[in-house]
Amino acid sequence: MRRFSVASGFLLLAALFGAHADEGMWLFNDPPVKLLKDKYHFDVTPAWMEHVQKSSVRFDNGGSGEFVSANGLVMTNHHVASDCIEKLGTPGHDYIQTGFMAASHAEEKPCPDLELNVLESIEDVTARVNGAVTKSMDASEAQKARRAIMNTIEKESLDKTGLRSDVITLYSGGEYHLYRYKKYTDVRLVFAPEKDIAAFGGDPDNFEYPRFCLDIAFFRVYENGAPAKVEHYLKWSAQGAKEGDLVFVSGNPGSTSRMDTVRHLEDIRDKSNPFTMDYLFRREVLLRTFSERNAENARRAQEDLLMYENSRKAYIGMQDGLQDPALMDKIRAEEKALRDAVTKDPKLREEDGGAWDQVAAAVDTYAGIRERFSLLERRDRGQLFDRARTLVRLAEETRKPNAQRLREYSDAQLESLKQELFSDAPVYKDLETVTLADWLSVFASTTGEDNELAAKVLDGKSPANRAAELVAGTHLDQAAVRKQLAEGGTAAIEASKDPMMLLARLLDAPSRVVRTIYEEKVQEPERQAYGKIANARFALYGTNTYPDATFTLRLAFGEVKGYEENGKPIPWTSTFSGAFERAAEHQSAPPYNLPKSWIEHKNGLKLSTPFDFLNTADIIGGNSGSPVVDRNGELVGIIFDGNLQSLVLDYGYTDKQARAIAVHSAGILEALRGVYGAKALLAELQR
């Protein structure tokens, strides 16, 4: 709960921390009313906020979207939609490459395991969560008490409202809010363009500008077998954004580290990021090699390969930011100012209780388990092993009272977990084999092949041969088998001779050990320490601030605006003509090859139409698919990327060159009209 608000707080914050007027990923229950009024003369009303909030959609696979018609039509990015699009494909139908358009509701294709969430309400439960943890508790007791009360709050809310209920940690432990979502699980693909225009320029142009991407896709949500009727949706602006406009971005930024201590950021820079980057490079090479063997392999791996390419480039940019002395000097100065202010205030000094040292100790503890924790709890070992792990833990966790379960197995989370677990989406055993073999190789290299656990895991075989044996022998690619094991509970799990289940059981105990260390010795102490630091910030600088991103709905705002690079002005928008010119510059060689549909319809297009555009809104990964709206709450674009200079936004905001990149609403209409002849879709958007 925020405390000690002072009238001059934000002015002091701005003076000490150099806050920018367009900075912030703001909570919907605490919008930046004064900032918007002072700079842009815009009055944020509760009705405007509610409309934008309930028009916004979260994709459970890590992206954002928005309702754009009363009949449940949802728009997001092609790269957010591609997980579903790839799963709908077959060896003879690669909808990622060819695109897809349903001629009627009957032709809209159901996604096998996609969940969309719409935020209905937010409740501050900080006092209740913190009240469950007493000063007499050690870290283990505190972690269990905090987990128990969070699980309990979520279950009570689910039972009372029927809505998905998530307790979200904000300000790294300074506050806890209960988010309630309306959930849609009958989601059907309506339209997707070809990958060659959705991701025109491919990896070379990723995080670059100018861009020429129609990075969009449309879905429809259904209820009781019919298109859902929604009250709140964004009306389409045919004119779209223009230079100098105030725009808003409503989406779900994934995570940022702006509140981390200097010691924490130094560990991320020197240890954590390099460790992750090595993994990303390795997995990208693996998938690229697999893809180059034949066209079907390329189809199967393209979604994962795109994700790793994107992550690799993003981490390079993030690391560049942390290695920038100017940024780190600024962060050090900000921390010193805060710590000096705490030291001078006897009450804050007493409440602080060595919070910065507590964070440092947690960071040191994590350094000792980083590799084991990543290998056993986080690394991608493929769908088959992950489903085996889920089945093993589902049986074990659901035997416990709800309050004592791991967070992802609480009653409030089970429905979403089971939807993914029992999905009938295709599983490709050849891709699973190379993925698991790579993990086994890293596992053996990290632990040493003479390690007792590694010896049991490999069972006397090479990683490649062991992976091939495990994947060939498992039946977990069949949804019916997974359901049977889940329904059979612990007895069925223990009786199973499926090799992947046996591996999951073998690794579960050591995995739980390292997870317990992480939760009790790293996560809980960090939450307590960062909570104290957050309260010190509130006391000194007031409550006009925002928490780090948590993949929950936030409001950002900014100006449609270009920038200058190497003395050259970068215009705020690209145009359709620029796409054809860029293709010609590269002799239409991949990834600069426009789809056949665009070549054939070039003469029917208005080539001066805005295509993609820039704005200064504060975004990060997870904002992909976020609507860009104007003062009237009308849709003027959709976020799909940021430029290279924006990658530093994980650690601090700047609007000097950092820009969010969006597809222009007028450009979307022009493409639907001039290239795809999507008359029904156009009519629905323009009602």
Q: What are the structure tokens assigned to 470, written together?
A: 């495990």
Contact 258, 172 (CB under 8 A): no
Average pLDDT over residues 347-354: 87
Average pLDDT over residues 319-324: 95
Percent helix, strand and coil across the chain, each to the nearest 5: 55, 15, 30
pLDDT in tens, 583-614: 999 999 999 999 999 999 999 999 999 999 99
The sign of the torsion formed by the CA atoms of 617, 623, 626, 632 equals: negative
Contact 271, 370 (CB under 8 A): yes
- Model confidence, pTM: 0.94
Q: How confident is the model at residue 305 (pLDDT cuts 50, 70, 90)?
A: very high
Does 222 have pLDDT greater than 70? yes
Residues forming a β-bridge with 27: 554
Average pLDDT over residues 211-227: 98
Phi and psi at residue 190, in whole multiples of 5°?
Answer: -110, -45
How far is Cα 8 from Cα 566, in angstroms, rounded to an integer? 39
Task: Kindly give, in sequence order, each residue whose CB lies less than 8 Å from that of residue 435, ignoring residues fewer than 6 positions away.
Answer: 286, 380, 381, 382
Q: Which pLDDT does position 353 carry in this prediction? A: 76
Q: Can you spell out the DSSP letters for 378-444?
A: IS---HHHHHHHHHHHHHHHTTS-GGGS-GGGSHHHHHHHHHHHT------HHHHHHHHHHHHHHHH
Closest CA to 181 of 299, 57, 81, 12: 57
Q: Which pLDDT does position 448 carry in this prediction? A: 79
Does 3 have pLDDT greater than 80? no
Q: Can you spell out the DSSP letters for 37-98?
A: HHHH-----HHHHHHHHHHEEEETTTEEEEE-STT-EEEE-HHHHHHHHHHH-BTTB-HHHH
Residue whose pair of structure tokens reads 């009705």 in the numeric block: 47
Phi and psi at residue 586, in whole multiples of 5°?
Answer: -105, 20
Domains of the chain: 9-115+185-258+547-685 (2.40.10.120), 359-543 (no CATH)
Query: In this structure, what DSSP letter does residue 30 have?
Result: S
Q: Which pLDDT does position 11 carry in this prediction? A: 34
Reduced 3-state DSSP string for 526-554: HHHHHHHHHHHHHHHHCCCCCCCCCCCCE
Looking only at the bridges linking them, the beta strands covering 164-170 and 246-251 are: unpaired
Q: Which pLDDT does position 2 carry in this prediction? A: 37
Contact 556, 21 (CB under 8 A): no
Q: Which pLDDT does position 75 carry in this prediction? A: 99
Q: Which pLDDT does position 20 carry in this prediction? A: 56
Does 5 have pLDDT greater than 60? no
Burial of 347 (0-12, 13-18, 19+ CB in 10 A): exposed
Q: Which pLDDT does position 297 carry in this prediction? A: 96
Q: How confident is the model at residue 544 (pLDDT cuts 50, 70, 90)?
A: confident
Does 650 have pLDDT greater than 90? yes
SS3 123: strand
Closest CA to 504 of 407, 382, 366: 382
pLDDT in tens, 15-67: 344 445 799 999 999 999 999 999 999 999 999 999 999 999 999 999 999 99
How far is Cα 432 from Cα 382, in angstroms, rounded to an integer? 6
Residues forming a β-bridge with 635: 236, 629
**High-pLDDT (> 70) share of the chain, %:** 97
How far is Cα 306 from Cα 482, in angstroms, rounded to an integer? 28
The sign of the torsion formed by the CA atoms of 283, 285, 288, 292 equals: negative
- Mean pLDDT of the residues in the chain: 95
Contact 248, 557 (CB under 8 A): yes
Alpha helices in 292-345 (DSSP H): 295-322, 325-344
N-to-C CA span, the chain: 44
How far is Cα 326 from Cα 183, in angstroms, rounded to an integer? 44
Residue whose pair of structure tokens reads 């809104």 in the numeric block: 617
Q: Which pLDDT does position 449 carry in this prediction? A: 67
Does 144 have pLDDT greater than 90? yes
Residues forming a β-bridge with 236: 635
How far is Cα 19 from Cα 32, in angstroms, rounded to an integer? 13
